[in-house]
Structure 1
């Protein structure tokens, strides 16, 4: 009987001892996440799978110089570009990867950031820019400021024209065509900017037209007008951040099958055609807007403004 009683007491003590240990573990102090003091900067672009990626490298250098000590990340809005490049990186065994804005914001939050300056590198305030704003507005628990795209205000439009007009041929030599992307969605608000820009260049210059690859003013109409211009030369000025696939193939391509490039159409009409280029690291690239130092400075100022807002936000 005494042995049974002793055994029961031992079991009770053992259970009590176990419960104390379990309780002690549950009351250990929790580790709090370290929060970052400075905001992070996210550069958000459409993306490209071409050698024109040098544009992003150029812009990164300029922005990194302006904001030492800040964490700078890239986000890309094109699902197609991200998928294509990520497959390519995987095939090459590279750890490099392109991320969406949502993925980048989630990563920054996990790393302790609570303030983020998102700078769109889009030229026109179109669908891609609106998507950036929507993602930023809906992302929880982050204070996010979204900067303005390049042509968000008419004063910006005039400033950009002042930058690229140094590339223009004189009226006696020939015609200049600003090549923009365009949108095939008629209800998209960016069409106002495209049509307003077309009106502006026609009234500001005697030998400058605007043409878009996927919208209005359309390529067919612009090429017809270019063929009628008395000068022998036609110069294309990329009015896109990156002079990538559209410029390389739709505009300046050769021998691509039944559909002729803009260059081939004009050369068949007897015009001498060229496109603005730039030399970087001893290589020649078509020059998109992102390869002008003045455009890089525009984005730097937008980021500076956003960081100032975040100080009080």
Structure 2
């Protein structure tokens, strides 16, 4: 996190990076910190702050003085007389957490000269195409092995993004790529049956989440019988994979940087 040096900031502009957060220090360093550093490096003349949508992440943060909700962070920036605010969500889809950020920002409409909000990771066709390219570059997805990406999932309408991603993957020639989620994974059993019918023995299991937190380490790759890796193995599949969060992949970080630039250019201005 860069230090406030108000004498060097003439336009009193601040960039607020908002994520669900995680209580795992190593995960923060590998994912959220790496995204934040890349953004800071691109806009070294802008103060960068952090906020969380999860109260659990805030309560477990090492630096309690720097752990705020979106509203708390905006209140602090207002008290420090910042005029222009760019909020960049570090989230995969336009779901419930994104709506929370928008609601918090709307409460401050008119209190700043300008508030702009960047989009989550998957918000346009260009985002989908660039994400697919980044994942293919990272994992080599056209090697003939069936790959199952696991997103968090949501009851929110934004969950449609995962279904759209599956379609675009297939349209781009990645017919062996599958998209499932933890929260709405009713298709997982059907996928297992389909793979068995095709006599597939080896699969690649990968997270489609920003940070390697509890969901990745326990729900996907945990040692319990209920983890997705265990379920696959108990069904006779040989499973390879990675616990790497999306925040560790350069191509993904570049998408967020583009979203920040679009917000700064006023594409998503709310006040």
If the length of structure 2 is used for normalisation, what is the TM-score?
Answer: 0.85
The residue aligned with 2:252 is 295
Matched, 1:161 2:132: yes
- Preserved CA contact (<8 Å) 1:180 1:210: yes
CA RMSD of superposed structures (Å): 2.4
**Superposition TM-score, scaled by structure 1 size:** 0.74
Q: How far 1:109 moved relative to its partner?
A: 0.5
Tell whether the 8 Å contact from 1:42 to 1:117 is kept in structure 2 after alignment. Answer: yes
CA contact (8 A) 1:58 1:291 kept: yes
Query: What's the counterpart of residue 280 of structure 1?
Result: none
Q: Give the superposition deviation at 1:237.
A: 2.2
Structure 2 counterpart of 1:43: 17
Aligned to 1:116, the other structure's residue is in SS state strand
RCO higher in 1 or 2 (8 Å CA, sep ≥ 6)? 2
Match of 1:74 in 2: 50
Compute the displacement of 1:152 (Å): 0.7
Structure 1 unpaired stretches of 5+? 1-33, 277-285
Partner of 1:267: 233
Which residue among 240, 245, 269 is the counterpart of 2:209? 240
- Comparing 244-253 with 192-201, greater Cα deviation is found at 192-201
Are 1:147 and 2:115 counterparts? no
CA distance in 2, matches of 1:77, 1:292: 23
2:178 corresponds in structure 1 to 209
Aligned residues: 256
- 1:205-238 Cα offsets, whole Å, 9 max, x none, are 2211111000145433334434444333211222
- Asked if the contact 1:180–1:213 (Cα under 8 Å) also holds between the matched residues in 2, the reply is yes
| Cα contact 1:168–1:235 (8 A) shared by 2 | no
Give secondary structure in 2 for the equivalent of 1:309.
coil
- The question of whether the paired residues in 2 share the 8 Å contact of 1:123 and 1:241 is answered with yes
User: 1:192 aligns to what?
Assistant: 160
Deviations 1:145-204 (A, max 9, x none): 0011110112211210111023145454x3101111101x2xx22132222223333444
**Cα distance between partner residues in 2 of 1:221 and 1:171:** 23
Please tell me whether the aligned partners of residues 195 and 216 of structure 1 are also in contact (alpha carbons under 8 angstroms). Answer: no
- The alpha-carbon distance between structure 1 residues 171 and 231, as it changes in their structure 2 partners (threshold 3 A), is farther
CA distance in 1, matches of 2:79, 2:264: 21
Q: 1:260 & 1:241 partners in 2: Cα distance?
A: 22
